[in-house]
Amino acid sequence: MRPINLTNVSEFLLLGLSEESELQPLIYGLFLSMYLITVFGNLFIILAVSSEPHLHTPMYFFLSNLSLVDICFTSTTIPKMLWNIQTQSQAITYEGYIIQMYFFTLFVVLDDFLLTVMAYDRFVAICHPLHYTVIMNAWLCALLVLGSWIISILDSFLQTFMVSRLSCGVVIIPHYFCELKQLVQVACSDTLLNDTMLYFSAVLLGGAPLAGILYSYSRIVSCIRGISSSQGQYKAFSTCASHLSVVSLFYCTCLGVYIYPANAHSSHSSATASVIYTVVTPMLNPFIYSLRNKDIKRALKALFRTAAIKGSQLF
């Protein structure tokens, strides 16, 4: 097939998780349920943090930002997937593909940076508790979040711009969302520069934050081991358990999908594994952070109680 520039492609075909028609209603119902749980669960976290003054601390500020990004993250891919299943169409326009790929790259990098910032926050809280309020001041917290947004936007723009210059003779994507790696793999033109940029970005924007998280937790473990009482050790570790669970789930899946070469597993297997960090992890975040956190549970109860009172007054 004659290579054509991607800008001349009118649409792509997303094959989804399965091409079997009898599985489509099951996939639709499952992903719709997970999407609604993700949106409402993270929305409740944001409302709980914003409505309770005693939760206006750096830890919960970063958590509410993570919840916002998780809502945007899943909203970038799942609605289009559900729409394609509903309309029995696999097509997505070129513009739609580029836009979805841009925002997917943006939010996955931003998710990565926010997890790193949260690890640094826990490091300061446990290893430097007396200086915590001085170090983690409002200006630094805002600067960390703003810097994460700026870096993510620039990286996403650069990756999307480079990929749009490729030529391609295949417009069939064996995935359920518009992913940068998949588009580079089906390109017909030379992708050396794109591959180099892709791996450089993965090492710089993925490896560096992971190294920062590992360093933070190595220092945290050392500090916890220095605490004399077992109760103090448990309390210190419990403040990190939720974040550590999310980090492990997010990074283990990402490494499984992106580190292994393309011929090590099928594209459909890669798409299935991608569900973990694109759908399951954002869905589980509200539960992980609320089930073991008394402050969040107390704020959620107060939020529901206020909503119930206002609802009864309205009726």
pLDDT at 315: 59
How far is it, in rounded angstroms, from Cα 172 to Cα 14? Answer: 6
Structure tokens at 231: 């109760």
Residue 32 is predicted with a pLDDT of 93
pLDDT at 148: 94
Q: Which pLDDT score, from 0 to 100, does residue 6 have?
A: 53
Residue type, 29: G
d(CA 29, CA 110) in angstroms, rounded, equals 28
Per-residue pLDDT at 1:
44
Give residue 260's pLDDT.
57
Looking at residue 89, what is its pLDDT?
Answer: 80
Return the residue matching tokens 């669970």: 245
State the sign of the Cα–Cα–Cα–Cα dihedral 225, 227, 231, 237. negative
Contact residues for 290 (Cβ-Cβ < 8 A; gap 6+) = 45, 296, 297, 300
The amino acid at residue 253 is T
Distance CA 207, CA 215 (A): 12
As a whole number of angstroms, the distance between CA 39 and CA 45 comes to 10
How far apart are the C-alpha atoms of 306 and 221, rounded to whole Å? Answer: 40
**Which single residue is written with the structure tokens 């990402």?**
254
pTM of the prediction?
Answer: 0.86
16: region left, alpha or beta (phi > 0 left; psi from -120 to 50 alpha): left
Q: State whether residue 168 is helix, strand or coil.
A: strand
**How many Cβ atoms are within 10 Å of 165's Cβ, its own excluded?**
13
Element (H, E) at 278: none
The H or E element containing residue 14 is: strand 11-14
The predicted structure's pLDDT at residue 2 = 47
pLDDT tens digit string along 118-170? Answer: 999 999 988 888 889 899 999 999 999 999 999 999 999 998 888 877 766 55
Count other C-beta atoms under 10 Å from residue 44's C-beta. Answer: 18
- The domain 4-314 is placed in CATH, from the list 3.40.190.10, 3.30.70.100, 3.40.50.1370, 1.20.1070.10, at 1.20.1070.10
Segments of the chain scoring below 50 in pLDDT: 1-4, 263-265
